[in-house]
Structure 1
Amino acid sequence: MEPPSGPASRRHVPWSRLLLAVSLLTFWTPPTSAQLTIETVPRLAAEGSDVFLVAHNVTKIPLAYSWHRGERVENIKLIASYRVDNDATVYGPLYSKREALYPNGTLLIRNVAQKDTGSYTLLVTKNDLQTERQIGHLHVYPPVAQPSLQASNATVTEHEGPVVLTCLADETGVSIRWFFKGQSLLLAERMTLSSDKSTLTIDPVSREDAGDYQCEAFNRGNSSRSDPLRLRVT
């Protein structure tokens, strides 16, 4: 007995349709999910501030999160872990009581110090027990001591001789910027700064130069401004 024959349209598919199907299979790839990333907020962390290590693009079906100090997932470097299904947090050997782990995977570190600078690893465990890992980085900048401002002469006669203002900062590796009457100093043609910007020379002095001057020492995370120094021009 011969097998029953189906409709002719099922036995003979036009070549044009086959070629189109092959083309679609060749050039179409299923969309991939966004990769897990870690963002430090704020990006420039000052010593003594609170910092978030924010987890982005976390899987929609998480089973647990765990944060580790460094770039390896090791129990001895565990800060804290969180189990989603029973809302339970377990603290590890490197928990300092300044950390808080949120249900969305974000880690808060309070009152950061320079010793907190380094790498942090987030391990996400999904419900199917597959894991995803990402590394975040934190750099804590030290505080800046208040600089002092000195003048070669605080009272000068207009158009007679130069005035030299010197900013004295205790730390190395800081930058200097200047302020006049509380605003950023706009250099006139009579003003020059030294290469490290620690010395401001005004020559000759004009009556419009009279007022309060300040210098500010800063690094990428902190700054400190000197007390005002008043220049009098007679």
Structure 2
Amino acid sequence: MKRPAQDPGQHFPIPTQVTILTDFSLFLLLTIETMPPLAAEGSDILLLAHNLTENPLAYAWYRGERVDNSQLIASYRVDTNATTKGPAHSGRETLYPSGTLLIQSVTQKDTGSYLLLITKDDLQTERQTGHLHVLLSLLTFWTPPTTAQLTIETVPPLAAEGSDVLLLAHNVTENPLGYAWHRGDRIDNSQLIASYRIDTNVTTKGPTHSGRETLYPNGTLLIQSVTQKDTGSYTLLLTKDDLQTEGQTGHLCIYRLTDLGGASIPLCIVSRFGV
């Protein structure tokens, strides 16, 4: 038999517990979940927005890790139910009223960071970054490149927390003048990890150097004891001896080993709380 509903005010312990739970919910942060966390080329991906503010005015998705109108994929106005496509819209993206972004038929070029900007009804904003990692198809591994372009290889491609990772630079130009590694998918001095001048054999640490990075004379970057916060994009800027530059972006995905029922299962937790 069901117990009749009680007025919580009649019992002192109950309202105290309810108040705690209600207050705790105020601290839920906006998070982005990538589904699936790792995607094969040609598949469809969802960037799911969790813990959204109540009564949002609008959503906007951008390529990269910052709000940049030139990198806008799409925006959505809740009050008018209107979607506007931006310069970075490829024709494969759909922005849903829930704030979720669908990307269809993903390619390697889709790998990288995606930022969601939420405008609240009081015109305050909230933002969070998610990351998309697209796996190469087996055929790609057996197809030789037609041109020797600068490429970045992450070794291992998926790394466990606490392990060491190498970002290897391939097809480096002859006689380079120097290298510089940055966090993110663009050149930004505030995101410089380290730079290296070959002629002077001098390494300079940047604002985002954590003390765990080593830049080698061949352009390779070592990151030791990686954590979830290291997940994301890394851009190498190569300066040639004629002072021309070449850039390329690599991506790092860190997984956590979660013990479930005695079985150790790797889960790539892709930026649930940003990087």
Question: TM-score scaled to structure 2, two decimals?
Answer: 0.43
Give me the whole-angstrom Cα distance separating, in 2, the residues matched to 1:41 and 1:216: 25
1:171 is aligned to none
Relative to structure 1, is the Cα distance of residues 220 and 78 closer, same or farther in structure 2, using a 3 angstrom cutoff? same
Q: 1:101 aligns with which of 201, 211, 215?
A: 215
User: How much does 1:220 deviate?
Assistant: 5.3
**Contact map agreement 1:45 1:141 (CA 8 A) in 2:** yes
- The answer to whether structure 1 residue 87 and structure 2 residue 207 are counterparts is no
1:104 is paired with a residue whose SS is coil
User: How much does 1:44 deviate?
Assistant: 1.2
Give me the whole-angstrom Cα distance separating, in 1, the residues matched to 2:266 and 2:160: 10
Give me the whole-angstrom Cα distance separating, in 2, the residues matched to 1:217 and 1:61: 46
- The answer to whether structure 1 residue 217 and structure 2 residue 264 are counterparts is yes
2:249 is aligned to 135
Q: What is the CA deviation profile of residues 211-232 of structure 1, one whole-angstrom value per residue up to 9, with x for unaligned ones?
A: xxxx5231257xxxxxxxxxxx
**Contact map agreement 1:51 1:112 (CA 8 A) in 2:** yes
- The answer to whether structure 1 residue 67 and structure 2 residue 200 are counterparts is no
- The answer to whether structure 1 residue 51 and structure 2 residue 136 are counterparts is no
2:257 is paired with a residue whose SS is coil
Q: 2:235 aligns with which of 121, 129, 133?
A: 121
Give me the whole-angstrom Cα distance separating, in 1, the residues matched to 2:171 and 2:186: 21
The amino acid across from 1:57 in the alignment is N
Q: 2:151 aligns with which of 31, 34, 37?
A: 37
Q: What is the CA deviation profile of residues 135-167 of structure 1, one whole-angstrom value per residue up to 9, with x for unaligned ones?
A: 00000111323x4xxxxxxxxxxxxxxxxxxxx
1:186 is aligned to none
User: How much does 1:33 deviate?
Assistant: 5.2
The amino acid across from 1:54 in the alignment is L
**Contact map agreement 2:180 2:193 (CA 8 A) in 1:** yes
Give me the whole-angstrom Cα distance separating, in 1, the residues matched to 2:242 and 2:149: 18
* Structure 2 unaligned regions, length at least 5: 1-145, 269-275
Give me the whole-angstrom Cα distance separating, in 2, the residues matched to 1:220 and 1:37: 27
**Contact map agreement 1:64 1:82 (CA 8 A) in 2:** yes
Indicate the structure (1 or 2) with the bigger Cα radius of gyration.
1
2:229 is paired with a residue whose SS is helix
**Contact map agreement 2:179 2:195 (CA 8 A) in 1:** yes
Relative to structure 1, is the Cα distance of residues 85 and 33 closer, same or farther in structure 2, using a 3 angstrom cutoff? farther
User: How much does 1:40 deviate?
Assistant: 0.4
Give me the whole-angstrom Cα distance separating, in 1, the residues matched to 2:175 and 2:147: 13
Question: TM-score scaled to structure 1, two decimals?
Answer: 0.51
**Contact map agreement 1:39 1:136 (CA 8 A) in 2:** yes
CA RMSD of aligned residues (A): 1.8
**Matched residues, number:** 124
Q: What is the CA deviation profile of residues 115-143 of structure 1, one whole-angstrom value per residue up to 9, with x for unaligned ones?
A: 00000000000000010000000001113
Percent of pairs identical after alignment? 63
**Contact map agreement 2:192 2:209 (CA 8 A) in 1:** yes
Relative to structure 1, is the Cα distance of residues 220 and 40 closer, same or farther in structure 2, using a 3 angstrom cutoff? farther
Give me the whole-angstrom Cα distance separating, in 2, the residues matched to 1:110 and 1:47: 10
2:196 is paired with a residue whose SS is strand
1:76 is paired with a residue whose SS is helix
* Structure 1 unaligned regions, length at least 5: 1-31, 148-167, 169-214, 222-234
Give me the whole-angstrom Cα distance separating, in 1, the residues matched to 2:147 and 2:252: 26
2:185 is paired with a residue whose SS is coil
**Contact map agreement 1:68 1:120 (CA 8 A) in 2:** yes
1:139 is paired with a residue whose SS is strand
Relative to structure 1, is the Cα distance of residues 85 and 46 closer, same or farther in structure 2, using a 3 angstrom cutoff? same
